[in-house]
Amino acid sequence: MKLFQSMRMALKSIYSSKVRSLLTMLGIIIGVSSVIILVSVGQGTTSQITEQLNGLGTNQLTVNITGRGATTSLTYDEALALGDIPGVKDVAPVISGNVTAKHNTDNVSVSVEGITPSYEDVKDFHVQSGRFLLDIDTQYRQKVALIGSSTANDLFGTDSPVGQTVQLNGISYKIVGLLETKGSSLGGSNDDKILIPISTAERQLQSKGVRSITIATTSADTVATVKSRLEGILAAKFSNATNAYTVFDSQQMLDTVNSTTNTLSMALAGIAGISLLVGGIGIMNIMIVSVNERTREIGVRKAIGAKKLDILAQFMIESVVLSGLGGIIGVGIGVGGSWLLGHYSPLSVSIAWNMVLVSFLFSLLIGVVFGMMPANKAARLRPIHALRVD
């Protein structure tokens, strides 16, 4: 029997039992669409995080101090002294905390960071109106502030906040600049914050010492050398207690995040792929039923000259067509669902076209594997037994 003839008979058989065929394909449809959507969400998240880390630059180091014993931080001067390490371009120490910001009758809980002017270049934070903080603001502990766009909108609405006053835990600060909109990053929203001079923050937040420092090196090539020297200085400071501090370089963070998100994506895809196997079992079950129902048809075809290979091909093609149609529908739902999630939800989605192809090919493989036993059963039927009347 020719291939075209086998395919036509397979499609006719599927069409004659539309509801049963659709229910049979349901497992394949759910499996393929789930794999595509989950992997696309995982890939989109990975791309978003990678873009954020690359935006920070590949020449940065982040130091977090947890401390040891009575020594739980670096002094402001010790933090600035890290800028003297060969290969260091600039240092941005930060003191952070949370306060209640109030303007007239409006108030919000907001993150406050005490910074130095170097924060602008090291962290790539700029103002869209007004000015950035100056050295003189830090030197004289000025009560001036930079406000994020989201916080400004919450407190001032459409009015320009520059030149107006905001109260932080009851203490008045003059807003000298409105920060550019930055969106969210690994640390949360970059627009729901207020920046003040680091010397003023020590009193405002009642926090002595620096526990977070971002260091920009002269180039990506000097990161490893600077990191080694930096760890030597911190080891001497904290008596070789390596758990008293952590030093991350952006490339290390990028590799860790990529590894974690890729592993998570594959795990989710594996879980979703189980439904593909369930769908395969469904195909095998319905094909066995189909063979039992069409025993007389098989007997007639064999009696008029159909060979074992012809019968095998017919049922194998029927199984592959079932799984293939399920795969095509699943691909459509998966791609469409990914597109909808990317446009109408806060999730970052990037359609994984390689996974689309893999999922479809796997659905065809499912049809071959799980259709083999029913097809072989049909091919081995002897005409005399198939035509026997019970």
Q: Could you write out the DSSP letters of every residue in 343-389?
A: HHSSS-----HHHHHHHHHHHHHHHHHHHHHHHHHHHT--HHHHT--
78 and 45 co-located in one domain: no
Tell me whether strands 193-197 and 106-115 are parallel, antiparallel or unpaired: parallel
327 and 210 co-located in one domain: no
CA neighbor of 287 nearest in space, from 191, 375, 162, 156 = 375
Report the domain count for the chain: 2
Residue type, 352: A
What share of residues in the chain are helix, strand, coil (percent, to 5)? 60, 20, 20
Q: Is 206 left (phi over 0), alpha (psi -120 to 50) or beta?
A: left
In a domain, 248, yes or no: no
Taking a C-beta distance cutoff of 8 angstroms, is the pair 169, 140 a contact? no
Residue type, 353: W
Q: What is the pLDDT, as a whole number, of residue 188?
A: 65
Residue type, 230: L
In a domain, 246, yes or no: no
Taking a C-beta distance cutoff of 8 angstroms, is the pair 44, 349 a contact? yes
In a domain, 359, yes or no: yes
218 and 76 co-located in one domain: yes
Q: What is the pLDDT, as a whole number, of residue 369?
A: 81
d(CA 37, CA 308): 41
Residue type, 313: A
CA angle, 346 then 349 then 354, to 5°: 170
Taking a C-beta distance cutoff of 8 angstroms, is the pair 148, 179 a contact? yes
Q: Pick out the chain residues at pLDDT < 50.
A: 1, 389-390
Taking a C-beta distance cutoff of 8 angstroms, is the pair 112, 133 a contact? no
d(CA 2, CA 270): 38
Two structure tokens written together for 85 = 């390490």
Taking a C-beta distance cutoff of 8 angstroms, is the pair 323, 13 a contact? no
Cβ-proximal residues to 286 (8 Å cutoff; 6+ apart), any chain: 20, 21, 24, 322
Q: What is the pLDDT, as a whole number, of residue 389?
A: 47
Domain boundary residue, one of 240, 269, 288: 240
Supply the pTM of this predicted model. Answer: 0.62
CA angle, 8 then 9 then 10, to 5°: 90
Domain boundary residue, one of 207, 240, 273: 240
In a domain, 60, yes or no: no
Q: What is the pLDDT, as a whole number, of residue 198?
A: 95
Query: What backbone phi and psi angles, to 5 degrees, belong to 231?
Result: -65, -35
CA neighbor of 7 nearest in space, from 321, 325, 290 = 321
Three-state DSSP class for residue 87: coil
Helix segments in 294-348, DSSP class H: 295-303, 308-344
Q: What is the pLDDT, as a whole number, of residue 178?
A: 96
User: What's the domain range around 83?
Assistant: 68-240
153 and 284 co-located in one domain: no
d(CA 19, CA 159): 61
Three-state DSSP class for residue 100: strand
Number of other residues whose CB lies within 10 A of the CB of residue 237 = 16
Q: What is the pLDDT, as a whole number, of residue 291?
A: 73
270 and 221 co-located in one domain: no
In a domain, 58, yes or no: no
Q: What is the pLDDT, as a whole number, of residue 186?
A: 57
Tell me whether strands 127-130 and 88-103 are parallel, antiparallel or unpaired: unpaired
189 and 283 co-located in one domain: no
State which H helix or E strand residue 158 sits in: none
In a domain, 249, yes or no: no
Domain boundary residue, one of 185, 210, 240: 240
d(CA 151, CA 147): 7
12 and 87 co-located in one domain: no
